[in-house]
Amino acid sequence: MGSTAPSRDSTFEPAEIELHGRFFRYRMAGKGPLVVLLHGVAGSSETWVDVMRRLSGSYTVLAPDLLGHGGSAKPAGDYSLGAYVNLIRDLLAALDLPPGTIVGHSLGGGVALQFAYQFPERCERLVLVSAGGLGREVHPILRAAALPGAELVLPWLAVAAAHGIGAATKTMGKLGFRASTDLGETWRSFVSLGDPEARRAFLHTVRRVIDLRGQLVSATDKLYLASEVPTLIVWGDRDPLIPVAHAYQSHAAMAGSRLEVFPRAGHYPYLEDPERFAHLLVDFMRATKPRRFDAGALGTRLRTGAPPPPPSVRPSTSAQASR
């Protein structure tokens, strides 16, 4: 196993480590309790730098480039949620890091949910930000990746995006994206797909979790287990990609969870207001005790089964849901 030295200084420069014969890129900074930040599809660890800057004074913050993303390897292979989770576990073990708070955005939220389920002993708290895996509905732009021939269209979108955001603004506006962080991040995602290997990884990933009808993978039947884990759910009330209704429904299904909805924010609330997001995250971690995994308690809960489903919850227009 080879690696470059981990970066824990204020520059947040990426480092690399070799796992299973493949290189993975990550950013790490700070000292203290561990916080792991997982990005969304077609993203990278760079998306978390503003948040890392605000947390690294009191926490060890790790933000990896997921397999097939950013500067990490992009092999032909398994891009299931389980495969992502296994590699995150291996990265934490290789870096000799303790259990910590797992934060996931969009696809990374689905990975975080799966991580908490597969490796509960390594997840002290769970933070879901505009997370996938909490409902069927998803924007048609992601469902389109499941269409036959999408691999032929994506190169054209990448080329168009690379020539500037101006033309993209009009098209994306028609699809429900405001001239905001959502538009800028979606544009950058399309630019990244100009690389054939990144494009292949994107399609493999999306097609494992989304089909023409919406999200394929759902954690809703296991959310009752999350009552054992302090959980924070963060969403933008104008998210065009994954509806905020998923936040309210999941909050109702996860006993003891905390829900924070950012008004006038889209799919990237942590980018639209990183100061508020970091303050919220720190407040949540200070106000909750880390989960201590108890295999016996888990076994009892599994044998008992899920409680009756909660009543349907209508999305609220308030900036903050009750805790």
Crossing angle for the helix pair 165-174 and 181-192, to the nearest 10 degrees:
120
Sign of CA dihedral 78, 83, 87, 88: positive
Q: Choose, from 239, 246, 250, 273, the residue flagged as catalytic.
A: 239
* Max CA pair span of the chain: 57
- 106, 130, 189, 192: the active-site residue: 106
Q: Are 261 and 288 in contact (CB under 8 A)?
A: no
- On whether the CB atoms of residues 285 and 226 are closer than 8 A, the answer is no
239 is catalytic: yes
Token pair for 204:
């493999």
The answer to whether the beta carbons of residues 289 and 256 sit under 8 Å apart is: no
**DSSP labels, 240-292:** SSS-THHHHHHHHHSTT-EEEEETT--S-HHHH-HHHHHHHHHHHHHHSPPP-
DSSP 320: B
Which residue is catalytic, options 204, 246, 251, 267?
Answer: 267
The C-alpha atoms of residue 83 and residue 165 are separated, in whole angstroms, by 34
Catalytic, 267? Answer yes
Q: What span, in angstroms and rounded, lies between the C-alpha atoms of 93 and 205?
A: 24
Q: How many helices (H) and strands (E) does the chain have?
A: 12, 10
Catalytic residues: 106, 239, 267
